[in-house]
Chains A and B, each alone.
Chain A
Amino acid sequence: MQIAPQHLNNSTTAVQRITVLAIFATLLIATVLPLGYFLAVYYRELGAMEAEAKGDSFYVSALASENPRLWQYQQVRLQDVLDRRPHKGAMESRTVYAFDGKMVAESRDNLGPPLMRQTYPVLDAGRPVGTVEITRSLRPILLRTSFAALLSLTLGWVIFYLIRIMPIRSVQKAEAQSQRYARELEETNADLRAFIFGIAHDLRAPLVNLKGFSGELRSDLAGVMPELRLGLSALSEAERQRVAAVLEQAVPEALGYIDASASKLDSLVNAILQLSRIDFRELNLEEIDSEALVRVALQNFAGTIKEKNIRVTLGVLPYLIADRLVMEQSLTNLLDNACKYLEPGRAGLVSITAEQSKDAVIFSVKDNGRGIAADDIHKVFEIFRRVGQQDTPGEGMGLAFVKALVRRQGGNIWCESVLGEGTTFCLSLPVEGGRRS
């Protein structure tokens, strides 16, 4: 769970990026499209108006060439030219101005503002003598443009939806689902832990009876033994031997087996309880000098180290925020294993090093011991499982315990080994102390 925040951060930045991109694309579509449309239509309209003006100016120019002085007064003919409109043409006003700007003739439609104008000169032998002006209302173009803008906005929204909302929604959905799974998993895990803890506990009550009554039986038997021995003398030799065999051999032996099995079961139950108690324990995070901690831990093995002549080397070990108990127990356990499972007849070498990354410290405990076979390596962290030669005492509990401890603090443990050459156990712990939700 400790990776969750980073993962969330990543998806937040991704969401932000996609949002910016989507907004940009949407704005682009919503502005460029109507603007482009407006400009295109506007210039086409101007072109069309220019063509009309040019046509009119052709006729007016002819009038001007015919009668350069009086053309301005030929109202009927001028009006005739201006009134001549294309079939189903646009609403427009056509005006002819003299060279001095005085209006000469006009054909007027009713136009609403804003207006657009286009002029074309009236020529007499190549000399401008007036202008023809065509005026149209911008309203139809603006109306069409606003319609286009509306369409663009719709299109922009669709695009925004497609690249921002839809993918994010599915990402969020997937995220919510994985969070739900994680929660369910955690609940199941908690249930399972409580269940195991309960079972281990309940196993204790019958064990008290098993051990208690076998003890009672033994002491009762010992108590009446003198009387029994006295009574035996009344029996025949053969009978006496049979009874003696039961009383002095079979019964103590049976009690011994019952006792030993109960003890074994008790130690298993205790191991399970110890293991599951890790999960109920609160972490006490503090700053820890791991080098000092390792040196203290090594003192526990001073005898073994001297006796087996093991060479121990320490790398630079950092300060970190961690739970002291987690660190002590896990490192002590790894050191214990390293010193315990050395190859007989080879000078022992054990090294403890640490590597620090941005958010984790990885401790390595390396030995040149007997190693672990590749087939067995995945079993080393299993509870009650012991691999390799069973010539050293142990419950098969240590590494399962270490793993539970380390994971409790949000860390991890793994192992690399070559049979006959040595083993390296690596233990990673978060620098700032692990948290578990």
Chain B
Amino acid sequence: MANLEDVTILLVEDDPGHAQLIEKNLRRAGITNTIVKLDDGQKCVDFLFKKGEYSGDDHRPPFLILLDLNLPVLLGYQVLEAIKGDARTKAIPVVILTTTDNPQEISRCYELGCNAYMTKPVDYEQFSEAIRKLALFLAIAKVSEKKP
């Protein structure tokens, strides 16, 4: 039986460097949750709906999804569409975390129902700061989820 306290964060990111930088900065900001890292969009959908290589898995749905947009196999917005279009996963908060700051892309993500959109800053200090803020947001969100 899975530990109820073990709330996981799903990180969908095809660039291993980015994934590691995000994880490092989350850890540094005090996030201790398990971070499940997936490197393509199809894997994310399979993981969430327990299909394909994840069929028969009994993991709990993640507490939060950090989603990149430029992903192999299934693009980020297709994954977002799948998540927000299914009653089972609709409630999971999705934070888009990508290098794109194209206004059209941003508004498309919000139309599809993403909960937050963050641009990865190229500058390292800004990057760390952005992840730190995200961690802060996670801490607040976690508290409010535990309440009821």
A428 vs B5: C-alpha distance when bound (angstroms) = 66
Interface size on B, residues (CB 8 A): 18
Q: Provide a sorted-by-A list of 11 A–B residue pairs whose CB atoms are within 8 angstroms.
A: A209-B21, A211-B123, A212-B18, A212-B21, A213-B21, A214-B124, A215-B124, A263-B123, A266-B123, A280-B102, A280-B104
Query: A213 contacts which of B17, B100, B123, B125 (Cβ < 8 Å)?
Result: B17
Q: Is the CB of A204 within 8 A of B24?
A: no
A174 at the interface (CB under 8 A from B): no
Residues from 152 to 202 in A contacting B, C-beta threshold 8 Å: 201-202
Q: Is the CB of A205 within 8 A of B18?
A: yes
- Given A211-B127, A215-B128, A216-B24: A204 and B122 within 8 A (CB)? yes
Q: Is the CB of B127 within 8 A of A208?
A: yes
Query: B122 contacts which of A213, A216, A262, A277 (Cβ < 8 Å)?
Result: A262
A389 vs B17: C-alpha distance when bound (angstroms) = 41
Query: A207 contacts which of B104, B122, B128 (Cβ < 8 Å)?
Result: B122
Residues from 103 to 128 in B contacting A, C-beta threshold 8 Å: 104, 120-125, 127-128
B15 at the interface (CB under 8 A from A): yes
Query: What would 19 more interface pairs be, CB under 8 Å, given A204-B122, A212-B127, A215-B125?
Result: A201-B100, A201-B102, A202-B70, A205-B18, A208-B17, A208-B120, A208-B121, A208-B127, A209-B21, A211-B124, A211-B127, A212-B17, A212-B18, A212-B21, A213-B21, A215-B124, A216-B21, A266-B123, A280-B102
Question: Residues 65-104 of chain B: 1 if any A CB is under 8 Å from the residue's CB, otherwise 0?
Answer: 0000010000000000000000000000000000110101
A201 vs B24: C-alpha distance when bound (angstroms) = 24
Question: Residues 98-138 of chain A: 1 if any B CB is under 8 Å from the residue's CB, otherwise 0?
Answer: 00000000000000000000000000000000000000000
In the complex, chain B residues whose CB is within 8 Å of the CB of A201? 99-100, 102
Closest 3 CB pairs of A and B: A215-B124, A209-B17, A204-B99
In the complex, chain A residues whose CB is within 8 Å of the CB of B124? 211-212, 214-216
A280 vs B102: C-alpha distance when bound (angstroms) = 10
Q: Which residue of A lies closest to B28 (CB)?
A: A219
Q: Which residue of B lies closest to A211 (CB)?
A: B124
A280 vs B107: C-alpha distance when bound (angstroms) = 14
Report A193 CB to chain B, min CB distance, Å: 13
Report B98 CB to chain A, min CB distance, Å: 9
Q: Is the CB of A209 within 8 A of B123?
A: no
A250 vs B5: C-alpha distance when bound (angstroms) = 46
Question: Residues 280-308 of chain A: 1 if any B CB is under 8 Å from the residue's CB, otherwise 0?
Answer: 10000000000000000000000000000
Question: Residues 18-55 of chain B: 1 if any A CB is under 8 Å from the residue's CB, otherwise 0?
Answer: 10010010000000000000000000000000000000
In the complex, chain B residues whose CB is within 8 Å of the CB of A205? 15, 18, 70, 99
Q: Is the CB of B18 within 8 A of A208?
A: yes
In the complex, chain A residues whose CB is within 8 Å of the CB of B121? 208
Most interface-central of A209, A262, A263 (chain B CB within 10 A): A209
Report B24 CB to chain A, min CB distance, Å: 7
A215 vs B24: C-alpha distance when bound (angstroms) = 12
Report A271 CB to chain B, min CB distance, Å: 13
- Given A216-B21, A280-B104: A208 and B99 within 8 A (CB)? yes
Question: Residues 21-58 of chain A: 1 if any B CB is under 8 Å from the residue's CB, otherwise 0?
Answer: 00000000000000000000000000000000000000
Q: Which residue of B lies closest to A215 (CB)?
A: B124
A207 vs B15: C-alpha distance when bound (angstroms) = 12
A213 vs B17: C-alpha distance when bound (angstroms) = 8
Q: Which residue of B lies closest to A280 (CB)?
A: B104
Report B16 CB to chain A, min CB distance, Å: 9
Report B66 CB to chain A, min CB distance, Å: 14
Report B68 CB to chain A, min CB distance, Å: 9
Q: Is the CB of B100 within 8 A of A208?
A: no
Q: Which residue of A lies closest to B123 (CB)?
A: A211
Report A24 CB to chain B, min CB distance, Å: 57
